[in-house]
Structure 1
Amino acid sequence: MKKSIFYSWQSDLPNNKNRGFIENCIKKAIEEIKTDNINLNVAIDRDTKNITGTPDIASTIFSKIDNTSIFIADISFINSNYDGRKTPNPNVLVELGYAAKTIGWENIICVFNTEFGKVEDLPFDLRFRRPLTYKIENPKNKSKDKENLSNVFQVAIKSIINKESAKDEIRNYIKQQVDKEILTICNHSFKIFYGYDKPYALEEIWKMLSLNKEEIKLQLFEQKHLGFTVLKDWRDYMAKIENIMNQPFFTQNAEPKYVSSLIKVVRSLEFISTVYSRNNLFTSTGQSTQEYEVVDGKEMNPDNPNDGYILLRNIDKEGHGIVIDFGTIRKYNVKNCLDYFTIGGDNFLGWTFGIHGVFKSIESWIENTGNNLIIDPLTFRN
């Protein structure tokens, strides 16, 4: 799993003794780790690096910290000549406090330049975090000092990575379970938007999830939908995700950002389920199709769940067909699965608002779990 390091620097002290010197030592440590047969891809993030436009700096920084693996903070004193209380850079302290809350002290490395003060003068809660210390002994030739600090960083970074490797297995197991359901929701949504003829691929999922409210309205306005596509029960997805969240393994091991992201997904599914419960949501076009056939899943396999139905596309007159969709459909809706419907009026706005909410919650889950989706080829349902 890719690892990222967030370096929280300060520019109050000379660049060649702190900010730039520390960064160069971190880079050297990373290079050494890469040659030590560790499966690692590390990037150093600083402030709003690689963010285009004019970002909200605070939210950008906090977002990067949320998704970092290791946080390194320069807590050297910036007022060593002051007779009163010595202090590190205030912005660094804010970022450090946020990192402690989000990724935990076990993933934080503090570094302190003793040229500008004594560790004993640090605030109580930092003093006992055992910060890495250094001092440039030879300003004219810093190669030895750089090597020493790089070696210390290397040991500290390796230690965190080794401890995190076991957690990665747990994270991936949890994520794979959830992503299976997330991809099923995406599959359902994709068919609402594009029917059964457009190829379903990951790059198309990203495009669909990024649609804003107006784009969703334009895509779906007065669109004709096959009953099987729009009559699936969204509560089924909600129940499956809640079941994952209620498993002891999840409650004991899931990180807070996993839990909060999934709560958003569940709430968005709850909202759209409420919209779907309205009796007058769909308007029949009076048209139906003989291109497809709906089959009770239990007729094909008694182990299939109740209310699970399969949509077959007929391929000959002997009743043979290929499976192109499946889902949970309540029995009172089965008779309408081959009819076509539209959604309009006030219901249309609520429906598109609900779909947009589902998309945003899924995006939040993806962003908080590594910016990817885990696809199991044995269970990927397309």
Structure 2
Amino acid sequence: MKKTIFYSWQSDSPNNKNRSFIEGCIKKAIGDIKSDNLHLDIAIDRDTMNVGGTPDIVSTIFSKIDNTSIFIADISFINPTSEGRKTPNPNVLVELGYAAKTLGWKNIICVFNAEYGKIEDLPFDLRFRRPLTYKIENQQNKSKDREYLTKSLKTAINSIIQEESAKDEIRNYIKQQVDKEILTICNHSFKIFYGYDNNYSLEEIWKMLNLTEDDINYVLFEKKHLGFTVLKDWKDYMDKIETIMNQPFFTQNAEPKYISALIKVLRSLEMMATLFQHNNLFENTGEKSSEFKIVDGKEMNPENPKDGYILLKNLNKESQGVVIDFGTIRKYNIQNGLNYMSINSDDFMKWVKCIQELFKSVELWIENTGNYLIIDPLTFRV
């Protein structure tokens, strides 16, 4: 997993003593760490670097901090000659406060230039955070001072990375469990939109999740759906996600943003399930497919769950077929599994809005968990 280090700098002090000096030491420390651990991918970020256009500075910085692994702040005094209270840069303090709330102090490194004052003069809540101190003794030859700060930064960064690596294992385990269900939901949705002939891939998932309400309306309006596709039980997805969330391992280790995003997914699934309880949501068009057949999962394996069915695409007259879909369908709906259905016009826009809310909640889960999905080749459902 990629590690990002956000550097919160100040320009009140001379650049060659603070901003560029500290940044140079951070980059050297990163280079040394990557040389020792070739599998690590570490990058430095700051302010609005690599963000195009004219972005809102505050929201851009806060967004970057949300997605960073380590936060490094220059808390050197900017008014060392003042007879009053000495203070670090106010903007750095704001960013530091946000990072403390978002990342926690364990993922924060403070750097202090002792040339401009004593640590004892720092605000009470900072002086005990054990900031890394340095002082440029020889302005003409900074190599020793640079080496000292680089070594201190390398030790501090390495310590955080080692602790984070253990957390990453836990995060990835939780994410893999949830992503399996998220991908199944996306698979179901994709088949509602595009049937069984279009290729299902991660690229197509991103496109589908970004459909606007008008796009959804355009694709689904007056569309005929195979009953097996649209009559699956959305509550089944809720139950599986709730089972994951109720595991002690999840409750003890999941980050708040994981839980918050999953709650939104559950709410959107509940909206969908409630809408699907409407008996007249889909109407039989009178057309029936001869291209497919449905098999009760328990007939194939008694261990399969109740109401689990498999959709086969016929290959020949000998009743051989290939599995192209599966899911939970209640007994009272399975009789329409091979019929083509159309949604009741009175409920169409409700359905569109439910789908859009579901897509938004899935996007939020992906965004809050690193902007990627874990695909386990042993369990990925196609």
* Matched-pair contact (CA < 8 Å) for 1:222–1:344: no
Q: Give the SS at the match of 1:337.
A: coil
* Matched-pair contact (CA < 8 Å) for 1:66–1:368: no
* Matched-pair contact (CA < 8 Å) for 2:310–2:323: yes
Offset at residue 344 of structure 1 (A): 5.3
The match for 2:73 is 73
Q: How many residues align?
A: 382
* Matched-pair contact (CA < 8 Å) for 1:294–1:310: yes
The alpha-carbon distance between structure 1 residues 132 and 328, as it changes in their structure 2 partners (threshold 3 A), is same
* Matched-pair contact (CA < 8 Å) for 1:221–1:344: no
Q: Give the SS at the match of 2:64.
A: helix
Instruction: Show the 5 A alignment for 1:1-382.
Output: 1-343=1-343, 345-382=345-382
Q: Give the SS at the match of 2:309.
A: strand
Query: 1: CA distance between counterparts of 2:199 and 2:113?
Result: 57
Give the 4+ runs in structure 1 shifted more than 4 A. none
Query: 1: CA distance between counterparts of 2:22 and 2:380?
Result: 45
Q: Give the SS at the match of 1:72.
A: strand
* Matched-pair contact (CA < 8 Å) for 1:110–1:132: yes
Offset at residue 252 of structure 1 (A): 0.7
Letter paired with 2:256? P
Q: Which moved more, 1:189-198 or 1:354-363?
A: 354-363
Offset at residue 264 of structure 1 (A): 1.5
In the superposition, the TM-score normalised over structure 1's length comes to: 0.96
Offset at residue 179 of structure 1 (A): 0.7
Offset at residue 38 of structure 1 (A): 4.8
Query: 2: CA distance between counterparts of 1:52 and 1:311?
Result: 47
Offset from partner CA, 1:120-171 (integer Å, 9 cap, x none): 1111111100001111222223222222111111110011111112111111
Letter paired with 2:98? Y
The alpha-carbon distance between structure 1 residues 128 and 62, as it changes in their structure 2 partners (threshold 3 A), is same
* Matched-pair contact (CA < 8 Å) for 1:258–1:365: yes
* Matched-pair contact (CA < 8 Å) for 2:177–2:244: yes
Query: 2: CA distance between counterparts of 1:84 and 1:344?
Result: 73
Aligned-residue identity in percent: 74
Query: 2: CA distance between counterparts of 1:50 and 1:139?
Result: 32
Query: 2: CA distance between counterparts of 1:8 and 1:21?
Result: 13
Q: Give the SS at the match of 1:35.
A: helix
Letter paired with 2:300? M
The alpha-carbon distance between structure 1 residues 338 and 9, as it changes in their structure 2 partners (threshold 3 A), is same
The alpha-carbon distance between structure 1 residues 213 and 13, as it changes in their structure 2 partners (threshold 3 A), is farther
Q: Which moved more, 1:56-65 or 1:372-381?
A: 56-65
Letter paired with 2:99? A
Offset from partner CA, 1:325-377 (integer Å, 9 cap, x none): 00111111101111112235342222111111111111111122122111111
Offset at residue 75 of structure 1 (A): 1.1
* Matched-pair contact (CA < 8 Å) for 2:307–2:330: yes
Letter paired with 1:212? T
In the superposition, the TM-score normalised over structure 2's length comes to: 0.96
Letter paired with 1:41? D
The alpha-carbon distance between structure 1 residues 49 and 277, as it changes in their structure 2 partners (threshold 3 A), is farther
The alpha-carbon distance between structure 1 residues 53 and 111, as it changes in their structure 2 partners (threshold 3 A), is same
Offset at residue 34 of structure 1 (A): 1.0
Query: 1: CA distance between counterparts of 2:288 and 2:129?
Result: 69
* Matched-pair contact (CA < 8 Å) for 2:280–2:344: no
Q: Which moved more, 1:342-351 or 1:207-216?
A: 342-351
Letter paired with 1:93? L
* Matched-pair contact (CA < 8 Å) for 1:284–1:342: yes
Query: 2: CA distance between counterparts of 1:152 and 1:322?
Result: 60
CA RMSD of aligned residues (A): 1.4
